[in-house]
């Protein structure tokens, strides 16, 4: 446990990361925030704004501001410097479980026990590497094979169309501690944010659609000094011909034309059928009207002539009573036939094909029949009948 100058209590745990107790509230900083190890044996303040902590994975130096930011939730990541065999330690594993597991002497040096001896650190003599590492994109693999073009910055490469696996191989030049160089990369056109790659020196993309892309990679040295310029590579993946704008526009126009043609053809066909139906109905009505007119003109005229002749004969013949009766029968038959012809003509006429016309005809027929029989006729019909055919 270590209490800082503002009264916050920092607690190192075995396998449970680093905790802070401040104003009655606990916060935790661990591997998700960038702490190299979750087992913290000892915490020392160097008086220069950093905590030095011993762990199972070497000695860790972290900025107190960054630790407070992660504990307060205002920062997502923490940069730590990790010291190991390359810095003079006999082993990475420090000693813990007993107190004290480290101390700071009056001369400002800090002492940490390890499983193979005692280690002394003088914070005032620690030098920061201010040289940002140059970043280089070494190779470009397409479908696990080297791309035939030269993968250098400032040149736009062109790839054949189709989904493919693309791998970028990059590195950064640092002779101080090359194993501590860390990278971030992003692919403009696909990645919205920088991807933390750690010490990994490859970036893989399993499928890339057609379009223009720019691959960028930056790196920092062992003291977290970043080369923000980094390296970049521009490339273009060509589309298939059916993925081009002109083909899609032509396809859309073709679809619109086909749909419009189908709608126009269907509408015209329906209109043609409706016109043909109307024409047939009109032809039928004309034929009905012609038949009615012919019946009325021909048969009506002939029957009228018979009727006139029979009446003339009836008046001229004053002789035998039988001849007179026969002529009267002929006259009655002719009148009845003429009446029947009128009914046929009425039925054939298209203008009488309504409910109202039928009701009027039946009413007149009933009145005529009842009047001849001496029976009183009373009709009960609606005042307004619907104009149904």
Q: What confidence score (pLDDT) does residue 163 get?
A: 60
Structure-block tokens of residue 224 = 């977290």
Q: What confidence score (pLDDT) does residue 370 get?
A: 87
Q: Looking at the predicted structure, is the pLDDT value of residue 309 above 80?
A: no
Q: What's phi and psi for 226, nearest 5 deg?
A: -95, 145
Determine, yes or no, domain membership for 349.
no
| 6 and 121, same domain (yes or no) | yes
Determine, yes or no, domain membership for 180.
yes
Q: Per-residue pLDDT averaged across 351-373, rounded? A: 85
End-of-domain residue from the set 243, 265, 288: 243
Q: Tell me the per-residue pLDDT of 189-222, one tens digit each, with 9 for 90 and over.
A: 888 889 988 889 999 998 888 888 899 999 998 8
Q: What confidence score (pLDDT) does residue 190 get?
A: 87
Determine, yes or no, domain membership for 327.
yes
Q: What confidence score (pLDDT) does residue 342 get?
A: 77
Q: Is the peptide bond before 100 cis (omega within 30 degrees of 0)?
A: yes
- Sorted by sequence, the CB contacts under 8 Å of residue 212 that are 6+ apart come out as 189, 234, 235, 236
> Where does the pLDDT of residue 314 fall: very low under 50, low under 70, confident under 90, or very high at 90 and above?
low
Going by their DSSP bridges, the two strands 202-205 and 166-172 should be labelled as antiparallel
**Mean residue pLDDT across the chain:** 84
Q: Which of 86-90, 105-109, 127-131, 325-329 is modeled with the greatest confidence? A: 105-109
Determine, yes or no, domain membership for 102.
yes
17 contacts 31 by C-beta, under 8 angstroms: yes
> Where does the pLDDT of residue 17 fall: very low under 50, low under 70, confident under 90, or very high at 90 and above?
confident
Q: Per-residue pLDDT averaged across 283-308, rounded? A: 74
Q: Give the residue, 40 or 240, on which the prediction is more confident.
A: 40
CA 337 to chain centre: 80
| 318 and 364, same domain (yes or no) | no
The number of domains in the chain is: 4
| 184 and 166, same domain (yes or no) | yes
Q: Which helix (H) or strand (E) holds 288?
A: helix 245-294
| 371 and 290, same domain (yes or no) | no
Q: Looking at the predicted structure, is the pLDDT value of residue 337 above 90?
A: no
End-of-domain residue from the set 225, 243, 261: 243
- DSSP states along 195-247: EEEET--EEEES---SEEEEEEEEEE-TT--EEEEEEEEEEEEPPPGGGSHHH
Determine, yes or no, domain membership for 380.
yes
Euclidean distance between CA atoms 196 and 53, whole angstroms: 24
Structure-block tokens of residue 301 = 């005229």
Q: What confidence score (pLDDT) does residue 174 get?
A: 85
C-alpha distances in angstroms, 109 versus 56, 90, 112, 125?
21, 18, 10, 10
> Where does the pLDDT of residue 52 fall: very low under 50, low under 70, confident under 90, or very high at 90 and above?
very high
Q: Tell me the per-residue pLDDT of 69-98, one tens digit each, with 9 for 90 and over.
A: 999 988 888 888 888 887 888 988 898 888
Q: What confidence score (pLDDT) does residue 153 get?
A: 52
Euclidean distance between CA atoms 71 and 29, whole angstroms: 6
Q: Tell me the per-residue pLDDT of 257-289, one tens digit each, with 9 for 90 and over.
A: 999 999 999 999 999 999 999 998 888 888 877
Q: Per-residue pLDDT averaged across 131-150, rounded? A: 84
Q: What confidence score (pLDDT) does residue 109 get?
A: 92
| 234 and 266, same domain (yes or no) | no
CA 35 to chain centre: 40
| 93 and 195, same domain (yes or no) | no
| 22 and 106, same domain (yes or no) | yes
Determine, yes or no, domain membership for 277.
yes
Q: What confidence score (pLDDT) does residue 329 get?
A: 72
| 114 and 141, same domain (yes or no) | no
Going by their DSSP bridges, the two strands 156-159 and 226-237 should be labelled as parallel
Q: What's the CATH code of the domain at 148?
A: 2.60.40.10
End-of-domain residue from the set 343, 363, 380: 343
pTM: 0.55
| 66: containing domain | 2-125
Determine, yes or no, domain membership for 348.
no
Q: Give the residue, 217 or 16, on which the prediction is more confident.
A: 217
Q: Looking at the predicted structure, is the pLDDT value of residue 312 above 70?
A: no
Please state whether 96 falls in left (phi above 0), alpha (psi between -120 and 50) or beta: beta
| 282 and 219, same domain (yes or no) | no
Q: What confidence score (pLDDT) does residue 156 get?
A: 79
> Where does the pLDDT of residue 154 fall: very low under 50, low under 70, confident under 90, or very high at 90 and above?
low
Q: What's the CATH code of the domain at 60?
A: 2.130.10.10
Determine, yes or no, domain membership for 130.
no
| 46 and 102, same domain (yes or no) | yes
Euclidean distance between CA atoms 42 and 36, whole angstroms: 15
| 222 and 140, same domain (yes or no) | yes
Q: What confidence score (pLDDT) does residue 317 get?
A: 57
What three-state secondary structure class fits 298?
A: helix
| 103 and 141, same domain (yes or no) | no
């Amino acid at each position: 446990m270590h209490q800082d100058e503002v009264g916050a209590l920092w607690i190192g745990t075995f396998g449970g990361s680093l905790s802070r107790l401040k104003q009655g509230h606990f916060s935790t900083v661990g591997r998700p925030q960038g702490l190299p190890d979750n087992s913290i044996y000892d915490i020392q303040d160097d008086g220069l704004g950093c905590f030095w902590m011993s762990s199972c994975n070497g000695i860790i130096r972290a900025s107190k501001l960054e630790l407070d930011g992660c504990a307060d939730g205002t920062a997502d990541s923490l940069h730590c410097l990790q010291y190991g065999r390359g810095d003079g330690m006999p082993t990475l594993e420090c000693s813990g479980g007993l107190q004290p597991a480290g101390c700071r002497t009056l001369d400002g040096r800090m002492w940490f026990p390890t499983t193979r001896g005692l280690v002394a650190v003088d914070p005032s003599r620690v030098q920061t590497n201010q040289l940002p590492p140059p970043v280089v994109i070494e190779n470009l693999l397409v479908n696990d094979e080297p791309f035939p073009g030269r993968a250098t910055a400032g040149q736009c490469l062109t790839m054949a169309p189709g989904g493919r696996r693309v791998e970028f191989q990059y590195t950064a030049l640092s002779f101080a501690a090359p194993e501590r160089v860390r990278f971030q990369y992003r692919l403009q056109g696909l990645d919205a944010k920088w991807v933390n790659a750690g010490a990994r020196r490859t970036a893989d993309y399993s499928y890339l659609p057609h379009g223009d892309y720019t691959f960028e990679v930056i790196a920092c040295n062992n003291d977290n000094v970043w080369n923000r310029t980094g390296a970049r590579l521009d490339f273009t993946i060509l589309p298939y011909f059916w993925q081009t704008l002109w083909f899609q526009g032509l396809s859309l126009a073709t679809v619109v034309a086909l749909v419009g043609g189908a709608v126009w053809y269907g509408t015209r066909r329906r209109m043609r059928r409706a016109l043909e139906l109307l024409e047939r109905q009109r032809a039928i009505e004309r034929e009905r009207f012609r038949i009615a007119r012919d019946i009325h003109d021909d048969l009506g005229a002939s029957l009228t002539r018979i009727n006139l002749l029979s009446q003339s004969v009836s008046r001229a013949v004053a002789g035998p009573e039988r001849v007179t009766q026969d002529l009267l029968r002929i006259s009655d038959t002719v009148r009845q036939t003429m009446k029947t012809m009128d009914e046929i003509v009425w039925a054939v006429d298209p203008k009488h094909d309504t409910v109202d016309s039928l009701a009027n005809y039946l009413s007149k027929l009933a009145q005529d029949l009842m009047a001849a029989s001496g029976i009183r006729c009373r009709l009960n019909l609606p005042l307004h009948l619907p104009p149904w055919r």
